[in-house]
Structure 1
Amino acid sequence: MFPLKITKDDNQRLMAALCENMLIVSMLLSVFFNPDVFAEYCHDIQPALFITAPKEIEALSGSCLEIPCSFKTTDQFDDGINIIGVWMKNNLAFSSDSNVVIFKSSRSVNKYPLNITGNLREKNCTTLFTDLNTSYTDKYFFRIENGPFRATACADPLQINVKDSPWSPSINVPSDLKEHQSVTVTCSAFTPCPHSPPELTWNLQQDSLRQTEKNTDGTFTTKIQENITLSDTHDGYNISCSARYPVTDKSDIAETEVTLSVSYAPRNTSASISPSGLVSAGSRVELSCSSRAKPPPRFIWFSISKDGATNVSVEQVYRFNGTQRGKFYCVATNHLGNQTSSFILVNIISEKRAEKTEEELYYGELNFLPASYFLPASSASHQDGEQQETLYAEVKVSADGLEGLYAEVNNKRR
């Protein structure tokens, strides 16, 4: 074999290539890894283990917590030999100091009530805390011991916050609600532990199906749903939902309430007149239209004549000076529909006639016909000689009524 001869130029090219590769690696590391996290937790040591888990997760004191977790390694990992999963707390995770280790899947350390439920051979480090208290609020780190491979995910700290009070559920209602619309109302509650989900109840149908769903980040949500066909009666309706979290020796309950806002077409449209009754010619007349609608309606007044209906006003109140009798109605309308009121009749009387509308006392002679007038001739023959008797009585009638009464009496006389 011939010796390999490297010239000065070759050496320079080789060094340049190495520098370029180191630059690329440095750039990649700066993209994928946060140097601030390295400085704080990894002490500038490049980690060989990374986990995928929530950066921060909440738990309820006295309840359980499931931590969704998976991991990957940058160095050789042998899934054929014994794998030990380790949890440590505080910012000493990079250290092998046993004082910070709280759990090992080998059970050699078990200071906290937790267990790794995931299959470590499949790089699943999902972990279940069974009974938490507020003292467990801290930062946690995951570690793998796999023969000669030992690494801590120092760049992926997990912050656990343990609360004393439960989370209020959320009620999801679609926006822009309208009558006749069919919508799905959802009440959901954060579920830190799917093994012990909260019980949800509300003031809708109690047979709503409860289901626990996994979120994209691996956490869980429990929800109930109900389909509602909306009407105007749902506007202003309060929906309340409560979540009861089972915890040690008690139950923690939190409640949420929302008020529905439903748009609907006009309802109960009616028209009124002032003054009521007969209206003197030339006096001021006021017609008012009312309706219940959301959004508030516009109003249109129509007058009916022999030529049909004529639009006379677009105000809620129509005012005019009365000159002749007429028939009116109003229409309430919004973008969802319209509704028409019943008719209002405006009766106009002259000033002279208006003066006579007061009650007056008139005397008149009333001849009452004998009973024989209403009997057959054979039955009344023996009464022919009887004299008709004239009676007087006080009768309160109007001028027009009196004229009619006289006309009726004269007809009877004939």
Structure 2
Amino acid sequence: MKDECRSLLAAPFVKVLTVNMFRSLFFLPGVWTECRERYLHITAPKKLEALSGSCLIIPCSFTTTPGNEQKFDNTRKIIGMWIKNNRDFENNPGNVIFNSSKQQNIYPMKIIGNLTQKNCTTLFSNLTSKYTEKYYFRIENGEFKATDFCNYTEIKIQDSPQRPSIEIPDDPKEGASVSITCSAPTPCLHSPPELTWNLQPDFQRQTEKNTDGSFTTKIQKIITLSDTHDGSIIICSARYPVNGGPPKTAETHKTLSVSYAPKKTSASISPSGLVSAGSWVTMTCSSRAKPAVSNFIWFRSSKDGDVKVAEGESYSLNATEGGGVYYCVATNDLGNQTSPKIDLIVEGSLKLTIQTFGRLAAILIFTCLIFCIWCFKKFQLQQQKQPATELDVQSPAIDTEDEL
């Protein structure tokens, strides 16, 4: 009989103990009850980062769910509180680091939102690393007293500012007008960062509100891209003012990649100059492009029109085929470009291209011009010497008359 009684007494105890152990293992004390039966819901960023020596705006709003005898009435006095980390503020009132009904508070905070409109946005000033913590919000409104322990804002105070970000449209191409943006987090509108970069100074600066209530400062520049922009390094700097010291700066570098059609396409012959009949020569086409050139095509000019003779970066041929005028065309996904024409001159060939004839004519004209200038100079020298000679011949005759 005693054993049966012990069994009956022990069973409920075991069940209760098992439930309590389960809750202790998987839930923080009070979290399960508070989250299921809460009367206050806070909307605020889960994580915020700020700079030591500056300030921080905590975007915050709340909604209430009346239950039992707890009812929120915005005609009554509304008190907003911030509680740090440890939620046992009733037994440890020091964890209530801010109370809107008090003139003096532990932390330099101020609710700048209108609590009657359920706006609990808060300004946190004179930040130091010791303020790195998790914060919970509480409302007291007559009989309505509630804390949202399911939602908190984790604030991290850093000695160095966050680096700005540079945004460039995907796959920019030459000829396109694109907007390049540099943005930096703005934890506090009272101390926004000053943004500068190595682009031209005529840019637009603006501060935008994010979906979570935080702010971002941006500068934008619209530029028309060309192949010369490819590989350029964009540098953006964010300069944050702080209390009692020089501003703190963070910088970001980003390389600009621009796609463009072939540029500086040229053709060359090896060996260069006059080649012997029967020898092999190699023509090479070169071009700068992004993406790289996908195809090279070779053409030979003739009186009947240009004829395609080969494909590929290099083209080899036997000089017995005779000379001629050649050029190449480089192509990629964005376009193509034609190289200047080059002459293949074969020794012993009587066929002179128009380009070759023009060059020889220019050389001949230049040689004749030099010869004419030389003859003219020589004639001038002779003319200058002739009067002096005549004077020398007449001088003895004058002397003879004087003697007579």
Q: Distance in 2 between matches of 1:96 and 1:234?
A: 64
* SS in structure 2 of the partner of residue 44 of structure 1: helix
Q: Distance in 2 between matches of 1:149 and 1:37?
A: 29
Query: If each structure's strand is expressed as a fraction of its own residues, which one has the higher value?
Result: 1
Q: Distance in 2 between matches of 1:229 and 1:167?
A: 30
| Aligned partner letter, 1:51 | I
Q: Distance in 1 between matches of 2:186 and 2:325?
A: 66
Give unmatched runs, 5+ long, in structure 1.
1-34, 352-414
More divergent stretch after superposition (233-242 vs 104-113): 104-113
1:44 matches 2:39: no
Give unmatched runs, 5+ long, in structure 2.
1-23, 350-404
Q: Distance in 1 between matches of 2:269 and 2:74?
A: 90
| Residues 302-345 of structure 1: per-residue CA shift (max 9 Å, x gap) | 11233321111111111111111221111112122211112212
- Root mean square deviation, CA, Å: 1.9
User: Structure 1 pair 204/93, CA: closer, same or farther in 2 (3 Å)?
Assistant: farther
Please point out which of 285, 288, 292 is paired with 1:292. Answer: 288
Please point out which of 101, 104, 108 is paired with 1:106. Answer: 101
1:59 matches 2:50: yes
> TM-score, length-normalised on structure 2?
0.75
User: Structure 1 pair 187/41, CA: closer, same or farther in 2 (3 Å)?
Assistant: farther
* SS in structure 1 of the partner of residue 298 of structure 2: strand
> TM-score, length-normalised on structure 1?
0.73
User: Structure 1 pair 167/201, CA: closer, same or farther in 2 (3 Å)?
Assistant: same
Is contact 2:89–2:95 with CA below 8 Å preserved after alignment?
A: no
Q: Distance in 1 between matches of 2:296 and 2:304?
A: 22
2:316 is matched with 319
In the TM superposition, what is the alpha-carbon distance from 1:184 to its structure 2 partner?
0.1
Please point out which of 121, 143, 153 is paired with 1:148. Answer: 143
Is contact 1:38–1:154 with CA below 8 Å preserved after alignment?
A: no
User: Structure 1 pair 152/109, CA: closer, same or farther in 2 (3 Å)?
Assistant: farther
Q: Distance in 1 between matches of 2:199 and 2:91?
A: 55
1:196 is matched with 191
Q: Distance in 2 between matches of 1:67 and 1:334?
A: 52
Is contact 2:55–2:124 with CA below 8 Å preserved after alignment?
A: yes
User: Structure 1 pair 257/192, CA: closer, same or farther in 2 (3 Å)?
Assistant: same
Q: Distance in 2 between matches of 1:229 and 1:346?
A: 41
Q: Distance in 2 between matches of 1:204 and 1:59?
A: 28
* SS in structure 1 of the partner of residue 306 of structure 2: strand
2:254 is matched with 258
Q: Distance in 2 between matches of 1:254 and 1:194?
A: 18
Q: Distance in 2 between matches of 1:307 and 1:96?
A: 102
| Aligned partner letter, 1:345 | D
1:215 matches 2:210: yes
More divergent stretch after superposition (71-80 vs 102-111): 102-111
In the TM superposition, what is the alpha-carbon distance from 1:141 to its structure 2 partner?
1.0
1:117 matches 2:106: no
User: Structure 1 pair 38/142, CA: closer, same or farther in 2 (3 Å)?
Assistant: farther
| Residues 174-226 of structure 1: per-residue CA shift (max 9 Å, x gap) | 01111100000000001111221110000012232221100001111110000
Q: Distance in 1 between matches of 2:136 and 2:308?
A: 78
Is contact 2:112–2:122 with CA below 8 Å preserved after alignment?
A: yes
In the TM superposition, what is the alpha-carbon distance from 1:53 to its structure 2 partner?
0.4
Number of residues paired by the alignment?
A: 317
In the TM superposition, what is the alpha-carbon distance from 1:91 to its structure 2 partner?
2.5
Q: Distance in 2 between matches of 1:93 and 1:174?
A: 50
Q: Distance in 1 between matches of 2:30 and 2:129?
A: 24
1:373 is matched with none
Is contact 2:327–2:339 with CA below 8 Å preserved after alignment?
A: yes
Q: Distance in 2 between matches of 1:287 and 1:240?
A: 43
2:300 is matched with 303
Pairs within 5 Å for 1:227-266:
227-248=222-243, 249-266=245-262
Counting aligned pairs with the same residue, the percent is 60
Q: Distance in 2 between matches of 1:114 and 1:299?
A: 69
Greater than 3 Å deviation, 4+ residue runs: 35-43, 93-97
Q: Distance in 1 between matches of 2:116 and 2:165?
A: 38
User: Structure 1 pair 57/342, CA: closer, same or farther in 2 (3 Å)?
Assistant: same
Q: Distance in 2 between matches of 1:212 and 1:314?
A: 55
Query: If each structure's helix is expressed as a fraction of its own residues, which one has the higher value?
Result: 2
Is contact 1:235–1:262 with CA below 8 Å preserved after alignment?
A: yes
In the TM superposition, what is the alpha-carbon distance from 1:350 to its structure 2 partner?
4.1
Please point out which of 142, 162, 168 is paired with 1:167. Answer: 162
| Aligned partner letter, 1:304 | S
Is contact 1:191–1:222 with CA below 8 Å preserved after alignment?
A: yes
Please point out which of 65, 70, 76 is paired with 2:61. Answer: 70
* SS in structure 1 of the partner of residue 278 of structure 2: coil
* SS in structure 1 of the partner of residue 77 of structure 2: coil
| Residues 66-99 of structure 1: per-residue CA shift (max 9 Å, x gap) | 0000111112101111111111112225636322
